[in-house]
Structure formats: C-alpha cells, structure tokens
Amino acid sequence: MAKPRTGWRCQQCGYAAPKWLGRCPDCGEFGTFVEEVVSSAPSSAASAVARKPILLGDVVASGAARTPTGLPEFDRVLGGGLVRGSLVLLAGEPGIGKSTLLLQAAASLSRGGSSVLYVCGEESAEQVKLRAERIGAADTIMLLPEVDAGAIEATALAERPDVLIVDSIQTMVDPSLDGVAGSVGQVRACAARLMRLAKNEGMTVIVVGHVTKEGTVAGPRVLEHTVDVVLSFEGDRDHVFRIVRAAKNRFGSVSEIGVFEMAEAGLTGVSNPSAVLLADRATDVPGSCVLATVEGTRPLLVEVQALVTPTYLQMPRRLAVGVDTARVLQSLAVLERRAGLSFGQHDVYVSVAGGVKIAEPAVDLALAFALLSARLDRALPAGIVAFGEIGLTGEVRGVRQTQPRLAEAARMGLGPVFLATPSGGARVPAGARAVGSVREIAAIIGG
C-alpha cells in the first residue's frame, strides 16, 4: 500500500507546511506543528453531492444501550455502564491503577457474557497474565500484544468484540505518520481510528491515556474533545483511596465519583468511604474536626487536623497537606483579627487525614474549629462535624448541598453539625447548630 502523503500543520493558526517547523512563520507560536495525513482529493461544493437533512422530529432515539461492567463503583461514574459504540478515555498518572481497573472490568464483562479484546501495547502477554492471576481475571479475555494501529483495527474488525480496550493510546502507532508513538499527531490519528471503530462498528472502545504531573503535551488533553467520556483516575500512590472522576460524559452526569482502594488482589470498590476515613480517628485530642464535604454528589466525612506549636523560628512555619496553603493562611488571618487569638508565635501544620484533597470553601469552618482547638489545646466535644465558608469579616456562609452532608453525619452517628445560619430566616435543620461568625467558635470549644 502506498504511504499516504503527509504534511505539517500549526495547531494554533492552521498554517500548513511540507516539513516540521519549530516556530510557526504565520502566528509566531513555538512547537505547534503536528503531522497530518493530507487527503489527496479535497471535496468542493461542485463535486460533492447534496444530501437531504433529516428532521429532528423524525429521529428515533433508541436510548443508550448500557452494559454494566459489574464493578459498581466504575459503573457509577460511567452513569450506569458502558454505552454501545462509545469511546471512553481513562486518564491518569502512571502507576495509579488504570491497567488493573480495566483488566478487572474486562474480567467482569467477560464473565457477564461480553466478548472483550484487550490490546496491551505497554506490557507483554506474560505481564498481563501475572496481573490477571493476582486479580483473578477470566481466561476468556482475548489478548493482543500490539502497537500498530492498522493491525489493531484489522484484528478488532475480524474478532468483532463487544468491548475493545487499548492500553495505552501513547504506545499506539499509525505507520502512515512519521511521528513517534505518543506525539500529538500520532495520538490524534490513532484516536480517530478508534473513534471510527466505535461509531461505525458499534464497538465500545476504552482507551488508556497517561498524564504526568507536569501536564502532558501529547497526552489525553488533545483527545478530550474527540472522545465521548473522559474519566480521570486520581489519587496518591501512597494513600488509601483512588478516585475515578468523570471529567466529561456525553451519556451521563459528571458529578459522580467512584472510590477504590488498591489491595493485594487489585482494586476494591469502597461503598462507604466515610467509615474508612474516620476509622483511625482519635477523639479527645485537640486539633481535630470532622468536615462534611461533597465529592460530586457524594457526601464524605473527613478529618481535618491542625497542630499549633510554639515556634523557634523568626518566620513561623505554615504547612498544609490536603488543603490549599492560601486557605490556611487566610483562615489564620481571619481568626487573629475576628476571633482575637494570635498565631504569630506559633508554627501551624494542617492536614486532611487519608490523603484526601479538599478544594471546596466549605472546609473553612472545620479548619477554623481544628485551628482554634489546637491553639487553645482543648479537644472538641465528641462527634462535632462542621462545614461552611468563612468570609474575611469572620462571618460563616452557607454552602451548597447541605442536606446530603447532614444525612451523612447522621448516618455515621455523628453530631451536632455546625453550619452557617440558614438564609431567609429558615429554620436550622434538626441535628444542626448555626454558627454566625468565628467569634462564636471559641465559646463552643470552651476556651
């Protein structure tokens, strides 16, 4: 087969060049040229045949046919299961557990009667077999150690699996392009081939994409607009939980998360994360407060810890893990000015137990409780849960999704829950107590 003609195009402005250029002569951007296949016969209005558009009202929507993977936490993020003919991208840092999750999903699908073709471009068949033995995967999964996009496409067309898994897009190469595997051009071209398999043949395609801490150039980012579903696998290798989050889902909500734990025999779904996160919590110790946070639509109870010690340094130390340091600095400033307690002679350490990262402002109130409790060296009364945003004037503001947070605290047998004064004169919900400003916190602690 003749090698198709390729050319280079600036991804910024669309300038075409016959060879790679470091800097675009048109828009002046650096490193924007990507190799593309040049189609020999560009269609023009004169040569193309006009087609009759269909009326939206005449389109029959059969509803997305979903196949549950059988892993409840994975199905939850997918919106109930895999949709036939969709292309799903699973992105995450190396070593987070993408291959493990997909092999488990493949095994579960295979046991459920779906045929699965697993393309392992990164590992040998033996390596996959070793992992499969660890997690007890089904022997009926078809394995294909291959990186050539053409061969993968041909095999998929010959075998016609229900689900095609490609691990990973960065190892796949389209031989008609010169670029190395993992380059923007290659990743795009390979993704386009997989998209064709999904849309034309009705196969469900799941593709793995690596992201690096620095943010990758030729990684999943360039695919996000092409694929139907983008799942990101997050978490710290050294911490308890791995979270699968939907960043985009054409067939479902993006507010669901799936929580997993990496164990000896693969990933296990965690249906009750709050219980796991609070399991090792010591009550009766100063500087600890339970925060009711919400991940997607899921309420989660986590422990916010603070340690306040006299400093031996000119510049007191402020260290935060799991919360933005800027948040901690702001909380300290507000507590100094509005609650009248100085932290100037103290080092402050803040941590969220279990390696969970909290980005929402609702952490403020629990943080203030923990900081004041640590500063006053008094443990909070047992069972206290808090959530709410704190403004610069020290006032506590309401946050979204109050009900699920309260329900989660009640379910875990904790309370009272401290929150912002309900707006519009509404009543404080049962089991909850309103806090107007940070000034009241010291009184609650009993300082």
**Residue ranges that bind ligand TYD, judged by CB under 6 A:** 92, 94-100, 131, 134-135, 262, 264-266
**Cα 4 from chain centre:** 38
Half-sphere exposure of 267 (CA within 13 A, CB side): 30
Distance from C-alpha of 369 to C-alpha of 260, rounded to nearest angstrom? 30
Closest residue to Mg ion, judged by C-beta, is: 99
Residue 221 or 433 having the CB closest to ligand TYD = 221
Residues in the chain: 447
Residue 32 or 108 having the CB closest to ligand TYD = 108
Residue 233 CB, nearest approach to ligand TYD (Å): 7
Q: Provide the b/e sequence for 26-52 (b: ≥16 CB within 10 Å).
A: eeeeeebbbbbbeeeeeeeeeeeeeee
Beta strands 396-397 and 241-249: pairing type?
unpaired
Residue 81 interacts, among ligand TYD, Mg ion, none and using kind-specific CB cut-offs from 5 to 8 Å, with none
Residue 9 interacts, among ligand TYD, Mg ion, none and using kind-specific CB cut-offs from 5 to 8 Å, with none
Q: Which of 414, 411, 367 is nearest to 388 (CA)?
A: 367
Residue 104 interacts, among ligand TYD, Mg ion, none and using kind-specific CB cut-offs from 5 to 8 Å, with none
Residue 134 interacts, among ligand TYD, Mg ion, none and using kind-specific CB cut-offs from 5 to 8 Å, with ligand TYD
Residue 275 interacts, among ligand TYD, Mg ion, none and using kind-specific CB cut-offs from 5 to 8 Å, with none
Please provide the DSSP assignment of 46-83 as one string. Answer: TTSPP-PPPPGGG-------EE--S-HHHHHHHTSSEE
Residue 134 or 337 having the CB closest to ligand TYD = 134
Residue 192 CB, nearest approach to ligand TYD (Å): 24
Residue 95 interacts, among Mg ion, ligand TYD, none and using kind-specific CB cut-offs from 5 to 8 Å, with ligand TYD
Q: Which residues contact 112 (CB under 8 A, 6 or more apart)?
A: 67, 68, 70
Residue 164 CB, nearest approach to Mg ion (Å): 16
C-beta separation of 384 from 286 below 8 A: no
Q: Which residues contact 368 (CB under 8 A, 6 or more apart)?
A: 331, 334, 335, 339, 386, 390, 438, 441
Residue 121 CB, nearest approach to Mg ion (Å): 10
Residue 260 or 369 having the CB closest to ligand TYD = 260
Phi, psi of 369 (to 5 degrees): -60, -50
Residue 58 or 238 having the CB closest to ligand TYD = 238
Residue 172 interacts, among ligand TYD, Mg ion, none and using kind-specific CB cut-offs from 5 to 8 Å, with none
Distance from C-alpha of 113 to C-alpha of 106, rounded to nearest angstrom? 11
- Dig out the tokens for 316 from the structure: 């007191």
Residue 98 or 188 having the CB closest to ligand TYD = 98
Instruction: Report the largest interatomic distance among the alpha carbons of the chain, rounded to a whole angstrom.
Output: 83
170 is a site residue for Mg ion (CB under 5 A): no
Residue 130 or 392 having the CB closest to ligand TYD = 130
Residue 90 CB, nearest approach to ligand TYD (Å): 9
Residue 276 CB, nearest approach to ligand TYD (Å): 17
Residue 82 or 91 having the CB closest to Mg ion = 91
Subset of residues 61 to 100 that bind Mg ion, contact rule: CB under 5 A: 99
Phi, psi of 140 (to 5 degrees): -90, 0
Residue 121 CB, nearest approach to ligand TYD (Å): 12
Residue 48 CB, nearest approach to Mg ion (Å): 43
Interface ranges with Mg ion (CB under 5 A): 99
